[in-house]
Structure 1
Amino acid sequence: MKNRIGARGARWLCVAAWVIGAQAASAAGPAPIKLAMIEGMSGPFANAGAMVERNLQFGVERVNAQGGVQLADGRHPLQLVVLDGKGGSEASLVQLRAAIDDGIGFVMQGNSSAVAAALVAAIDRQNARDPQHRVLFLNYSADDPALTNDACSFWHFRFDAHAGMRMDALADALKDDRALRKVYVLNQDYSFGHDVSREAQRALRERRPDIAIAGDEFHPIGRVKDFAPYIAKIRASGADAVITGNWGNDLTLLVKAAREQGLDTKFYTFYGNSLGAPGALGDAGVKRVIAVADWHPNVGGAASDAYYRAFRTRYPAAADDYLVARMPLMVEMLAVAMRRAGSADPLAVARALEGMQFDGEGFHPSTMRAADHQLIQPLYVMEMDRAGTAGVKLDNEGSGYGFRTLLAIPADKTAQPTTCRMTRPDR
């Protein structure tokens, strides 16, 4: 046991001791500021919910390790409250009401644009009806462009690039692949999947009008157990590549079926670097899986490497190592906004977030655009390869496979125009 603890274990024991001490101190000090995470913690996407919880908890612990949030009445620790929305709008709205009844003013969600839209609408009604119990919504993954365009809300802030921004980044890499003649577009049958399909067709028209769309198909979200029939259709279409926004088990099962069927095409993905996908593909994914993200472990730089090492120290199991940097950084950015506002009042914090520039621990500069509450941040297009090859120092999830940067897009180049016409509260 002594040999297994080592330096990493010793560091984690120090972190655990601090957390226990902070919890004990908070019992006699200012009350914690609760952050409600409403996510699918059960059902087909429970693995994605668990990943989000780890990332948000990491951010909470980093803020608390620095003394929490200093307000006029003292230092408040943050506390993550995890609520199971079961991946659906109805259950998530029930959990939103539970959070409001518990006095929680900050709600976080992301793993469904349909759920996010329902939460935004409910929060708008809540805040208009009961301004003494307002709620601020922090969105870390729901990428429907409408949420920061025509359906924008003062009470909603998105910390992920939306589908159009991600697709433009992918298309910037795809346009230089002169071998591509046909692509097959396959997505989950809900709002986000339809967004990806629409944005893929737009981006191809703009950058590679010579590429034919061999198929544009949607499948039931979270219900397909065997993607072999879809792989057969892709093969029959003669497509050179697949474009997909699939995530969670819908992505893992898709890439497993592709490997088992020996499908010899490229995959241009939004999330092909996560949740078991690299391990599921193995060698079949080498130089064939392309993904886009706001960060990945092989971005490079001392600050980025240090942040990733800290996450791995906190979650040493290989299966838990998937750091989504924007999630803990979102929590840290929220804490900065509270300090600047001198308050945990959602309205004051929202105003502090608007226009905020944040350096993300020195490796992830970003700006919360005031016009639509869309975070403008760098994006990276990356290619899967074996760990240890050029540009792939670190693997993902202990799979032996990682990603190298193909294209690094600075924050100011990822921004897109917005149609948001935001109504702001007077007070």
Structure 2
Amino acid sequence: MTRHLAEYSQWRRAPGPCYDFASAPQKQKSGHIGEDCTMLRGKWLTAFFGLMLAIAGGGQALAQGTIKVAYTDPLSGPFAQIGDANLKQMQYIIDYINSKGGALGKKFELVPFDNKSQPSDALIALKSATDQNMPFIMQCSGSNIAAALIDGVNKHNDRNPDNRIIYLNCGAVAPELTNEQCSFWHFRFDLHAGMKAEVMVRALPKETTKVYLINQDYLFGQSVQREVKNYLGKLRPDIQVVGDELIPLGKIKDFSPYITKIKASGAQALLTGNWGPDMNLLIKAGIDAGADLRYYTFYAHLAGGPTAIGAGGDNRVLAVMSYGENVAPEIGNKEAEAFTNGFREKHKFDFSAAGFRTIFEYLQAAVNKAGSVEPAKVATAMEDLTVKDFLGFDTKMRKEDHQIISEYFVGTFKKGVKYDAEGTGLGWATSATILAKDIDQPNTCKMKRPGA
């Protein structure tokens, strides 16, 4: 293309006889040089600009063939199991949404990028997505990465009003992200750590009076540490925190020294927001050591967790979760149970990502409402949108801070359930259901809107 533009410029400047794009002389008819050149140049201009329009139109048509959604999470490294599980569940959900018509008659297409659990790699993924004019990017794992993405999306959208992008947050839950760092371009589709911490503390039985906290030493883990202690003080001042530690993210391979300290502390319960190997190895070490503990977690139900816990975790591990495979049969929802079973038939790990389906149902509704995939229009359409999720519960995307308000569950890992987890013979029985109206919390967001 650069060569043709240069040749066009050279031809246009050439004096005397007419030249083609390669500057080859044309045969002339005496007395008609000016007329022939004008006609020839007109034809070349028509052809040239026709070519430009064809190229532009072809690119636009290609872009409009599907609605592309970038997805960036760890697909390699110590947390790859979580990213891979997310990817498989998202694709299953997208296939379902597309079978129901997609949005505006177009199908959604998921485009994965490996961020290796590094903010810098997530920003590279964002750059690649915007270079390809993708209107949406999703990320679930790592609030430090989410913070970098929010900042990156804000800056990109400010500088490129004709190529904006929306960040759909599917699991990065530091409260700061929808409070002091809230953004018009960021929507969170999972409860934040403060909400989850309140659910966790309310799940503690009255006889529990001593707890130990272990969390990952980065934005999310620090948020969990702060929020759990906050709600212990508000709701259970009778409970003593006998240990409180932050560990380096993804670095600890042997948690037995931590278990030794926990046992010596007299703690009856371990409270943790750890995820991935930091959760799996921690609980496995405790069970292997025979620690007399109950484990209260945010993420024990995710891929790899049940296998790591094993039979020794019977009735000792609880998870604060958006969905467990036994929720649907417990409430008698046949459609949700069939949807879950469809995933179980294809994969060797549990379907836990009901929230991902909610994301794409919101996106589908917002795009159809906006009549466009233009991010500003979609973002506006998504604000205060209400969607009944696949379990039949009402959910709402709160306009003030772009935080979803939805139901949540507490699951206990035990025998005797309809669906076991990862072939362990144990599964997640629902021990508590918290409705959206009971989970809402105030926010401090002061959102800057486009054009404000």
TM-score (norm. length: structure 1): 0.88
Superposition deviation, residue 320 in structure 1? 2.8
Partner of 2:269: 241
1 CA distance for matches of 2:62 and 2:143?
A: 40
Partner of 2:210: 182
Partner of 1:405: 430
C-alpha contact 2:328 2:336 (8 A) present in aligned 1: no
Partner of 2:258: 230
Superposition deviation, residue 127 in structure 1? 0.5
The Cα offsets for residues 158-193 of structure 1, whole Å up to 9 and x where unpaired, read as 00000000111111111xx12212110001111110
C-alpha contact 1:290 1:382 (8 A) present in aligned 2: yes
1 CA distance for matches of 2:109 and 2:344?
A: 19
Superposition deviation, residue 29 in structure 1? 11
2:103 paired with 1:69: yes
Superposition deviation, residue 322 in structure 1? 2.7
The Cα offsets for residues 22-45 of structure 1, whole Å up to 9 and x where unpaired, read as xxxxx9995101000011100000
Partner of 1:196: 224
Bigger shift: residues 300-309 or 224-233: 300-309
Please give the residue correspondences for 1:55-94 in structure 2 after superposition, counting only pairs within 5 Å. Answer: 55-70=89-104, 75-94=105-124
C-alpha contact 2:303 2:349 (8 A) present in aligned 1: no
Partner of 1:278: 306
Superposition deviation, residue 143 in structure 1? 0.4
Cα-Cα RMSD = 1.8
1:95 pairs, out of 125, 144, 147, with: 125
Bigger shift: residues 41-50 or 223-232: 223-232
2 CA distance for matches of 1:345 and 1:318?
A: 35
How many corresponding residue pairs? 391
Superposition deviation, residue 303 in structure 1? 7.1
Change (3 A) 1:29 1:260: closer
Q: Structure 1: which 5+ runs fail to align?
A: 1-26
Superposition deviation, residue 224 in structure 1? 1.0
Change (3 A) 1:249 1:29: closer
Superposition deviation, residue 135 in structure 1? 0.7
The Cα offsets for residues 88-122 of structure 1, whole Å up to 9 and x where unpaired, read as 10111111101111111100001000000000001
Partner of 1:394: 419
Change (3 A) 1:28 1:218: closer
Amino acid at match of 2:404: L
Q: Structure 2: which 5+ runs fail to align?
A: 1-60
Partner of 1:340: 369
Change (3 A) 1:83 1:28: closer
Superposition deviation, residue 333 in structure 1? 1.5
1:206 pairs, out of 204, 219, 234, with: 234
Amino acid at match of 2:441: Q
2:353 paired with 1:328: no
2:62 paired with 1:37: no
Larger radius of gyration: 2
The Cα offsets for residues 361-405 of structure 1, whole Å up to 9 and x where unpaired, read as 35232100001000000011121111xx2xx22222222111222
2:289 pairs, out of 261, 264, 282, with: 261
Change (3 A) 1:273 1:162: same
Change (3 A) 1:81 1:426: same
2 CA distance for matches of 1:368 and 1:328?
A: 14
2 CA distance for matches of 1:65 and 1:317?
A: 18
The Cα offsets for residues 204-235 of structure 1, whole Å up to 9 and x where unpaired, read as 11111121111110111111111111111111
Amino acid at match of 1:242: L
- Relative contact order, CA 8 A, sep 6+: which one is greater? 1
Superposition deviation, residue 319 in structure 1? 2.5
C-alpha contact 2:343 2:351 (8 A) present in aligned 1: no
C-alpha contact 1:303 1:362 (8 A) present in aligned 2: no
C-alpha contact 2:328 2:337 (8 A) present in aligned 1: no
